Structure 1
């Protein structure tokens, strides 16, 4: 893919770990759960690598002695507490607001495709001032499938009136890049996001790897195939 001289027609983003540094909200959540059980608090370093992997992953880190069924049983409590902490401690990553402003100025239609429950995502978008700017929001429970299935990305592209190949998907997890590839959508690996030390972003085979959001102020940083 050659470097374009303009931004893509459509840009779709993962939320947690890509646009939003939500780890502080997640930390407050798990620490409330641990405090209720007489446990010492965790640190951001403890949970940051798994934030993009959802409630079960964070509950597993918070209570490592539990088996899969025990972790699953904590998910409703996690979501309830997280709903109270939502947006209280989190903020967009440095450079994200400038990037979105550049996309707006270029006429790029941008939206969010996340595995976070849609209701929670819908609540946080107004807190960020994005409700009038975000052209589509797909949550993990919006459709019958979630990432890494391509359906959410395909649905989002259709909702903003573009072919998948005319959009670029930006995410910080292997599931994001897998979903983009299956949807026929160029992808960007957000290296500033959350991942385990054992993760190998190169192996995900995204079209571009970007270190910081500010780099996406340059149209040439975006892969475009259509």
Structure 2
């Protein structure tokens, strides 16, 4: 490996969005007469796409409800995207440093593409991401490697020369499936033990540690 690029997950990795996701879904659940959940529960509901979020949050086998719950969630979330969501401490500085060191960067999320772009552009302005992608029609979600491998092409690097950075088993599995260097961050939605169990080759507890982990991989040919 000669690290030349890094692909980042969004929620739980670059931005802390859990409270706004929880508020939007709880609003939708209330509208449909369903029980709501504490913010902490949403750590285990997110990461696999919005329909998985809907199924886990509703906790009922009522497919007839899912589209309506989803529509209400999206409508509320669109108006409250930035209520509490913010970049994690040190992330803007870390990304600026990677750019200064000629590491090419991209974002790949299972969040809806429109929300992914709005959050990145609103909270991380000026970061020279080559591409920013959320969930798109016709493109399989993570951990399928299709989108990650497509980003490697756009970044102009071999998958083996690209790091994939995320906070969930989905991200670590994506890295493995794409043949990329997996880096787990522990400030997000899942535990270090889960990340290790799913193949994280490095762990970072702060943005500074993430920068050093990527630098070490680049220097050592990990």
TM-score range (shorter-chain normalised) is 0.7 to 0.9
1:203 maps to 2:197:
yes
Q: Aligned partners of 2:35 and 2:63: how far apart in 1? A: 23
Aligned residue number for residue 100 of structure 1:
95
1:215 maps to 2:209:
yes
1:184 maps to 2:179:
yes
1:109-120 superposed matches below 5 A? 109-120=104-115
Shift of 1:216: 1.8
Residues 28 and 143 (structure 1 numbering): CA distance in 2 closer, same or farther, change over 3 Å? same
1:143-162 superposed matches below 5 A? 143-162=138-157
1:30 maps to 2:25:
yes
Q: 1:17 aligns with which of 12, 19, 24?
A: 12
Runs of 4+ in structure 1 off by over 6 angstroms are none
Contact 2:168 2:194 in 1 (8 A): no
Q: Aligned partners of 1:187 and 1:93: how far apart in 2? A: 20
Q: Aligned partners of 1:200 and 1:129: how far apart in 2? A: 28
Shift of 1:162: 1.4
Aligned residue number for residue 45 of structure 1:
40
Secondary structure, counterpart of 2:111 in structure 1: coil
State TM-score, norm by structure 1: 0.83
1:127 maps to 2:156:
no
* CA deviation map 1:134-166 (0-9, x unaligned): 211122216522211111111111112111111
Contact 1:111 1:136 in 2 (8 A): yes
Contact 1:49 1:196 in 2 (8 A): no
Q: Aligned partners of 2:51 and 2:137: how far apart in 1? A: 19
Q: Aligned partners of 1:37 and 1:183: how far apart in 2? A: 39
State TM-score, norm by structure 2: 0.85
Which consecutive unaligned segments of at least 5 residues does structure 2 have?
none
Contact 1:17 1:193 in 2 (8 A): yes
